[in-house]
Chain A
């Protein structure tokens, strides 16, 4: 079998689980989480990174072999997101950026319009842009045109652990959008990540569910297994689901009888 890899921009990854760095009780657990998750891409909020830190910093705990995905959390407009992306690059965090533009602090839902604007600007500047958006076909199409490297629809609002509430809309994105679809936000349980993968999502990003588990290292492993299981199920082509029972005594059998 040909190697099944996730390709974003021009980079290939074996793992289809992306993880985060927020919400841990202690950043020193991050290397162990990276290890057990087998993840190769890790997102970090620029607002939390202290570039002048004399003491420990979250960046010190990120394994060097991982693809760093700085995010623009805290940005309320495209302009702010662009500034944060440039800042991350200038600070040596590379040119991958996860765009998060949120101007609703009550539900933390992403602003599609501003996200598209930021994606366009940053993609032109050579960034590998991964925008976090609502599972909306029009936004996703605009992001493709804007030069995004992947589309990251939410499963449910950030931090809610509610699972894949956007199932139908995400399924449409999987069908229609040729870029990798990475389900981001809201995934609370490995079974939900598995479901997204089984449906054909290219990857899942999980932070809260791992970081706030009683045993984050073990939970990271569980997610790793779930994402693999879901991917394998998808690749193996699950039997078609049908709402109609396959009658053992068909009503139209007479049409073919005797042929």
Chain B
């Protein structure tokens, strides 16, 4: 059985009804529990839980402190290429968009790595568009080998792969994978992903599980909030994370909470997620999964990111450029080919200062790559 079967049990209509049926009493009852069931998670995501957001925050804060202490791990993305064969309607790299396309040569990867490493960054997340022919698994592997010289932790956010491909990347030194389902709504999904390999809902949905089987150490999932009714996607993301955590206890399961951002192209959002709703999502998730990593990216504004450090976040990106080769490039040379606009443009040093001023410690290194070292 895959997560698909679990996910399919919750159709949109039934979720809508269930969310609407939750009462204040249900919320109080859920908050009093030590361990929350999926049902309780749904309760905390429901409109009935909104008046209890402070109680939820207190609980989420305590749980995070217990399990992670006052620390925030930092990472930065590195865009290897922006070629893409998909037509995700909400993305700047959409194959139909007329943007400057490029791919880093191995020399460029090395110089980007040097620039990033000189800032003190230790965790790197490599990204490509979905274009197998250009960014082949071999190309990615070769880049990982270069990056391993500079960073103890290298993870990937690329197109969905087979289990063998994930295993081969894990062997070459990739310790984490991120895969956003974007939306779990099976009917909406093909509308948002009209063509290209990403059109295959099921292949993408099962990708995190394939990477768990392949021996990835950290598997990070998420939905792009704002594509569909956020409560539905938030619930299914949590369920997915819970499914993976229970089935693959050796893998660290983490969740990202990206909100839609502006980008090159025209996509009218049907569901705008407010700050309060973002916070409710974060808190419900933390209470449901006290040990899961939770990532908030620079899509969010600096002030908002400062405030939510106390609420359950464990990982943040910093010093971000969403352009290919954007780290080594001078600002004037920017070709405006970024995947989306970032909101928090603080440098790594500024980010560290902000984290410290909130009473937290920025953590750079949280993994020792032990394979092949001795």
Contact = CB atoms under 8 A, between A and B. Distances in A.
Interface of A: 22-27, 46-50, 54-55, 74-76, 80, 83-84, 86-87, 90, 103-108, 159-161, 208, 211-212
Given A25-B359, A47-B367, A55-B120, A159 B67 contact: yes
A87 to B, nearest CB: 6
Contacts of B373: 83, 87
B66 A161 contact: yes
Given A76-B250, A80-B370, 14 more contacts: A23-B69, A25-B69, A25-B359, A47-B365, A48-B363, A48-B366, A83-B370, A83-B374, A90-B374, A103-B250, A105-B252, A105-B291, A108-B291, A212-B65
B3 interface: no
Interface string B347-374: 0000000001001110111111011011
A27 B249 contact: no
B269 interface: no
Contacts of B246: 106
A22 B69 contact: yes
Contacts of B367: 47, 74
Q: Which 5 A-B pairs have the closest CB atoms?
A: A23-B69, A25-B70, A104-B249, A103-B250, A83-B370
27 contacts: A23-B68, A23-B70, A25-B356, A25-B359, A26-B361, A27-B361, A47-B368, A48-B363, A48-B365, A50-B152, A50-B365, A55-B120, A74-B368, A75-B370, A83-B371, A83-B373, A84-B368, A90-B374, A103-B249, A105-B250, A105-B252, A106-B246, A159-B67, A160-B66, A208-B69, A211-B70, A212-B69
B49 interface: no
Contacts of A212: 65-66, 69-70
Contacts of A55: 120
Given A49-B365, A104-B249, A87 B374 contact: yes
Interface residues of B, number: 32
A208 B67 CA distance: 8
A161 B69 CA distance: 12
Nearest to B65: A212
Interface in B113-159: 120, 122, 152
A23 B252 CA distance: 18
B322 interface: no
A211 B363 contact: no
